[in-house]
Chain A
Amino acid sequence: MSSQTNQKISRRQFFFVIIQTQIGVGILALPFDLHHTAKQDGWISLLIAGVLIQLLLFLLWWLAKRFPSKDYFQIQEYVLSRWFGKVTSFLYVIYFCSVGILIVLIYSRLISIWVLPNTPFWVLGFMMVFICLYMVCCSLLVIARLYMMFAALLIIMVVFIFYSAKDSKLMYIFPVGEAGWSNIIAGIDMGILSFLGFIVSLVLYSKTEGTAKEKLVAIQSAQAFVFTFYLAIVLITFTFFSTQEMALVPQPVLYMLKSYEFPIVARIDLFFISTWIVFVATSLSTYLLMSSLGLTTIFKSLPTKWATIGVAVTIFITATYIGYDISKLNNFNTYVKKGGYIFSIGLPLVVLIFSFFRKSPAKEGASS
């Protein structure tokens, strides 16, 4: 494994890794969440959030560009001094674990509601975590190749979603602006949360081939791709369901597909869920990967294998402890969402600002 870890992934693979991390457990509920705060104007919120994230990604890229040979955890140690950097890195590991737990929680809950009502939580959780552990135990390069292959499944999703567009009524997103600007702005929050996962572009930056500019293109276009995909889903579900109806369907994408029946496939929603599971697994794997990467950077003597297994076990045990309990899930969800702002936006920006007081190692090397 160690020989392969140094091998870098190509820019195209980098693109797919970002996409696969961002598109995950949230897509089923995304239109509902946006609608919840901003009513039928939720798509405007998404639009604004998409633009903001592009700007933010530029800043993150700027930070990564200054230290091209260091990964994000090493940058922290360098910029924030060794011990303080290690502490924040550890907090990151905890955050990535929490996101992993949240993914397992939401995933198992959904599967339980839609498909397997009698299956106990630990079985669903175990299968998901185990599969991801198996995937992450390979090298980054293998993971990236897998992700690229899985991206073909996106076509199935897109076809299903666009198929339902035939029954949509454009009338339902009018009048534009009815929710009022305050609600639209509140909706941006939901929009940004749906894009979380972009932090992977900062973490894996140094493990990608190419010049800084080329990498920026990969990052920005991945984000643009995810944004377009989300916007399509949101617009189609918003026009498919009436405004009142949207408030009643927490998983609008599935619900929309449930109303169709093809000659051989009676329940398209189940097909969609099966493809969706792959995207859940890829997101979870990335978080698993990032956590173990963080752990091995902090504790240099820790073998990657044990770090990954440790993280997976932690995720599984904590998720099983919370289980189907909705109030615990909601609490946990709120914390992780707040954490998202701190770890994906706040801290990287702080590191960026501090990095100006430090010499870039590249220049350091040049001057010596």
Chain B
Amino acid sequence: MIRFIICNLCTLLILTGCWDQRQFKNVKLTLTIGYDEGEEGEIYETVSIPTVKGSEGIVEETVQVLSSDARTPLDARDKIDQMISESFNPSKVKVVLIGDELAKSDIYPLLDNFYRNPNSNLNAQLTIVEGTAKEAINFNSTGDTKISEYISGILKGASSATHAHADNMQMLWGELIEEGEDFTLPLLKVDEESDVIKFNGLGLMREDYYTGIKISPEQSTLFLLMEGNKGNVARMTRKVLDDQPTPILEYITFQVLDFDRKMKIRPEGKEVNVDMALNLDIHVTEYPHDHLVDEKIIEDLNNDLSNILTEEASEIFSITQEANSDVFSIGRMLKAYHPDVWKELDWAEGYKDVTFNPKVEVTIQNHGIIN
């Protein structure tokens, strides 16, 4: 009798999968989700759903792109659910796209469902699309790569080339809601002429909306170094000479080998000064003039590049101030290390009054295998 009961109990343990099983055959995984502004305060959600057909050898993949108007993101999900054969599952989402018009209003409500539900993938990348997200998701590239792979590939490339952050949605969340700390989101643009989607700079966010002001792709590398981030490669091309026979000779391309950034906040009364010292050890990868052995030439190049980049750094600071986007977390650092000053400041406008003193110091460390 006891054995009978024990056997029953054991079977009961095995049965536990029944309530919560989520079988792959019953769901359609969506890998890309896009949000756009709809009419009258509604949102417009677009998803791409790949379906794999065929079983023996020949596997055919079709991608379905569906859109719907709705009040909230999950409302849209319900509506899209009604259009597809199985139910729709966002737990493997790789990229979340937001149209720039919608991003200019509060983006937090769009993301709440990702943060709230345990099944969502917080390792997804968040991106703003100049134009509409629908356009980007509908984009048919000539290759057969999925749109999610294409976009996440672009972003991955951008982050390893020090053009954008590799921050996922979870990493952004803190910056999204913390006071005195803002962030940037990568911008993408559908280029219809050359039929590509391209990385188009970093959008400056203020609290939880997109300011409409951006850091251009050319400046983004320096910007990220100023923030203290470096991908695998950080390459920049700058103009160092004038009046050359052909314009191509006026430029130098270099790669940052190592960098060291120091940021110091010096509050003086109600005025906040920020000194930023950025030391770059670089490796010259392209400079058609040769003669890179002469110490004098190298010294001059070091000085020229330092001046050019210092000026550019000031420009980047003033762009962020124009957007009033505290991407360098100056406010949070003030709060952390100078709480008395922080209490007296009104940070809603305070960031604009910060004085930045950037100083970029460039040292050429090597110049490839030729002189």
Contact = CB atoms under 8 A, between A and B. Distances in A.
Interface in B134-156: none
A235 B194 CA distance: 50
Interface string B330-342: 0011011101000
Contacts of B12: 126
Nearest to A175: B339
B179 A174 contact: no
A127 B121 CA distance: 29
Interface stretch (A25-33, A114-122, A143-151, A208-216): A114-122
Interface in A145-172: 167, 171-172
B123 A259 contact: yes
Contacts of A241: 174
Interface stretch (A51-59, A101-109, A243-251, A276-284): A243-251
Contacts of A115: 20, 118
Sort A-B residue pairs by CB-CB distance and give the 8 closest, nearest first: A259-B170, A174-B336, A242-B174, A242-B178, A175-B339, A119-B19, A118-B19, A116-B20
B9 interface: yes
Contacts of B59: none
Contacts, number: 67
Interface in B3-31: 9, 12-13, 16, 19-20
A171 B122 contact: no
B329 interface: yes
A122 to B, nearest CB: 11
Interface in A184-237: none
A118 B121 CA distance: 20
Interface in B96-147: 115, 118, 121-123
B120 to A, nearest CB: 9
A266 B123 CA distance: 9
A319 to B, nearest CB: 17
A347 interface: no
A243 B168 contact: no
A171 B328 CA distance: 13
B297 interface: no
A341 interface: no
A259 B171 contact: yes
Contacts of B121: 261, 266
Given A171-B333, A175-B339, A260-B123, A245 B20 contact: no
Contact of B174 (A118, A130, A174, A245): A245
A118 B20 contact: yes
7 contacts: A119-B20, A127-B13, A175-B336, A242-B174, A244-B177, A258-B122, A260-B123
B13 A175 contact: no
Main secondary structure of the interface of B (DSSP, over half): helix
B181 interface: yes
Contacts of A175: 335-337, 339
Nearest to B179: A244
Contacts of A255: 170
A120 B19 contact: yes
A87 interface: no
Which of B13, B16, B170, B335 has most A Cβ within 10 Å? Answer: B170
A243 B13 contact: no
Which of A120, A126, A178, A245 has most B Cβ within 10 Å? Answer: A245
B69 interface: no
Contacts of B332: 171-172, 242
Given A117-B20, A171-B336, A243 B178 contact: yes
Contacts of B181: 242
Contacts of B9: 130
B177 A242 contact: yes
Contacts of A353: none
A167 B171 contact: yes
A174 B122 CA distance: 27
B173 interface: yes
B175 interface: yes
Contacts of B171: 167, 259
A365 to B, nearest CB: 45
Interface in B316-371: 329, 332-333, 335-337, 339
Contacts of B170: 255, 258-259
B289 to A, nearest CB: 42
A113 interface: yes
B19 A116 contact: yes
Given A119-B20, A127-B13, A167-B171, A259 B122 contact: yes
